[in-house]
């Protein structure tokens, strides 16, 4: 166990210092994967978690992946510059990056003008229409989280009336809220109100008779959940549904109060599906922890491995395989470019408990048809 951990950590150090080796003689040609991640700055720990997931996947038996990571420094300008440099490097077959919300859309825009296929780790890299270009491939759609929360609210919680809390000016929050609203109403429920804090941070229900809600979807930081429960007598007993990607500091306080809280995310460590267990086994053997960031790194590289195995190792072959191939069942759910009724997203719904979240089930959702379809 200790030798395995040492091997992984030495390999990770080699990546961070840029000394990635070529595959051993006799193996198939290696796919060179460039990565643009925040390896310095305030988000460096998360960036290293993503890199760890990439490294663990690259060390799977039979893998011939060579990683070529660069530090995006957590800024849009530096990340864009590094992506263009990787695209000019003839060794690089595909690039993975765009973890941070602050860099995701910039990198997605740059990807449209370079020759190398780009796999976006953040669902915020997609436009609100969820459209993707020739070079841009999304692991996940952000709207899938709102859709899954709405389906769960109707099917599992029996919710009839829902409230939605949005963060003003946040594209992510608006996309999540709109997806929840659309899916909840389509499933026979009714969204009673949608609210946001005013400029001074005050929150109030719409004027008129107070409407009782069964569930409140908080498409924002979890500390707002308690504020929503205290808006009136008819919100006090509501179940809270949270979106992934926010700080969850306030969840423990809600659990202590006996408030039912559920999270719609892409990864849950207590999910017993084989794809999650494979990742957990790899982390256990390396004596390193798993996390959502590790899971996305792991899944993105596995997607590259599958694409290369199916179509070849050139940029065009990988691009075509990513575009035409079936989604991969990963630790973070179905991942891949194609999104249709035959290839749904599968977000994980988890229940908050003391000390973490407990997996409940995955919810299959498909993207809404484009406008005018």
Q: Is 29 exposed, middle or buried (0-12, 13-18, 19+ CB in 10 A)?
A: middle
pLDDT of 1 strictly over 90 = no
Contact at 8 Å (CB) between 247 and 261? no
6: alpha, beta or left, given left = phi > 0 and alpha = psi -120 to 50? Answer: alpha
In percent, how much of the chain has pLDDT > 70?
87
pLDDT of 352 strictly over 50 = yes
Residue 97: in which H helix or E strand, if any? strand 94-97
Give pLDDT, residue 129: 38
342 confidence band (pLDDT: 50, 70, 90): low
Reported as a single tens digit per residue, the pLDDT across 211-252 is 899 999 999 888 899 899 989 888 999 999 998 766 677 788
Strands 65-71 and 31-37: parallel
Contact at 8 Å (CB) between 358 and 350? yes
Give pLDDT, residue 371: 59
Give pLDDT, residue 326: 79
pLDDT of 337 strictly over 80 = no
pLDDT of 3 strictly over 90 = no
Nearest-CA neighbor of 262 among 199, 200, 215? 215
Cα–Cα dist 128/184, whole Å: 19
- CB atoms under 10 Å from CB of 52, counted, come to 25
Residue matched to tokens 């961070």: 16
For 2-140+274-335, give the CATH class: alpha beta
Helix (H, G, I), strand (E, B) or coil at 257: coil
If you compute the radius of gyration of the chain from its CA atoms, what whole number of angstroms results? 21
238 token code pair: 């509501």
What percent of the chain is helix, strand and coil (3-state, nearest 5)?
40, 20, 40
Reported as a single tens digit per residue, the pLDDT across 17-70 is 343 434 333 344 589 999 999 999 999 999 999 999 999 999 987 778 999 999
Give pLDDT, residue 368: 77
For the segment 345-359, the average pLDDT, to the nearest whole number, is 92
pLDDT of 340 strictly over 70 = no
* Least-confidence region, from 118-127, 268-277, 328-337: 118-127
Nearest-CA neighbor of 58 among 100, 7, 107? 7
pLDDT of 373 strictly over 60 = no
Reported as a single tens digit per residue, the pLDDT across 284-326 is 999 999 999 999 999 999 999 999 988 888 999 999 888 887 7
**More confident site: 26 or 334:** 334
197: Cα within 13 Å, side-chain hemisphere: 17
Domain spans of the chain? 2-140+274-335, 144-265+348-362
Q: What is the dihedral of CA 105, 15, 266, 218, to 10 degrees?
A: -60
In this structure, which topology does domain 144-265+348-362 adopt according to CATH? Rossmann fold (3.40.50)
Give pLDDT, residue 186: 96
Give pLDDT, residue 61: 73
Give pLDDT, residue 130: 43
Reported as a single tens digit per residue, the pLDDT across 109-168 is 898 889 999 999 988 887 543 445 578 888 898 999 999 999 999 999 999 999 999 999
* Least-confidence region, from 5-19, 71-85, 338-352: 5-19
pLDDT of 106 strictly over 60 = yes
**2-140+274-335 and 144-265+348-362 in the same fold:** yes
């Amino acid at each position: 166990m200790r030798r395995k951990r040492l091997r992984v950590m030495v390999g990770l150090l080699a990546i961070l210092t840029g000394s990635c080796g070529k595959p051993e003689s006799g193996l198939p040609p290696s796919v060179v994967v460039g990565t643009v991640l925040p390896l310095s700055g305030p988000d460096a720990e998360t960036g290293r978690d993503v890199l760890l997931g990439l490294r663990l996947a690259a060390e799977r038996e039979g893998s011939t992946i060579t990683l070529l990571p660069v530090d995006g420094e957590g800024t849009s300008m530096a990340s864009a510059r590094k992506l263009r440099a990787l695209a000019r490097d003839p060794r690089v077959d595909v690039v993975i990056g765009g973890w941070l919300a602050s860099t995701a859309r910039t990198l997605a825009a740059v990807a449209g003008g370079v020759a190398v296929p780009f796999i976006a780790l953040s669902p915020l890299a997609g436009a609100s229409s969820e459209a993707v270009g020739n070079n841009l491939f999304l692991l996940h759609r952000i709207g899938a989280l709102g859709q899954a929360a709405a389906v769960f609210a109707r099917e599992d919680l029996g919710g009839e009336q829902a409230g939605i809390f949005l963060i003003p000016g946040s594209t992510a929050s608006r996309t999540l809220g709109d997806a929840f609203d659309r899916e909840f109403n389509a499933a026979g429920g009714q969204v009673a109100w949608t609210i946001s804090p005013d400029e001074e941070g005050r929150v109030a229900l719409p004027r008129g008779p107070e409407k009782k809600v069964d569930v409140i979807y908080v498409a924002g930081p979890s500390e707002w959940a308690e504020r929503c429960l205290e808006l009136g007598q008819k919100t006090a007993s509501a179940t809270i549904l949270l979106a992934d990607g926010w700080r969850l500091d306030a969840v423990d306080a809600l659990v202590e109060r006996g408030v039912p809280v559920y999270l719609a995310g892409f990864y849950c460590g207590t999910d017993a599906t084989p794809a999650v267990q494979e990742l957990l086994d790899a982390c256990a053997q390396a004596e390193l922890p798993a996390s959502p960031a590790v899971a996305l790194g792991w899944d993105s590289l596995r997607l590259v491995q599958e694409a290369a195995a199916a179509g070849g190792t050139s940029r065009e072959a990988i691009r075509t395989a990513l575009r035409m191939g079936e989604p991969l069942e990963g630790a973070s759910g179905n991942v891949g470019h194609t999104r249709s009724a035959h290839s749904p997203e599968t977000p994980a719904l988890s229940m908050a408990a003391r000390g973490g979240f407990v997996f409940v089930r995955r919810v299959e959702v498909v993207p809404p048809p484009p406008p005018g379809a």
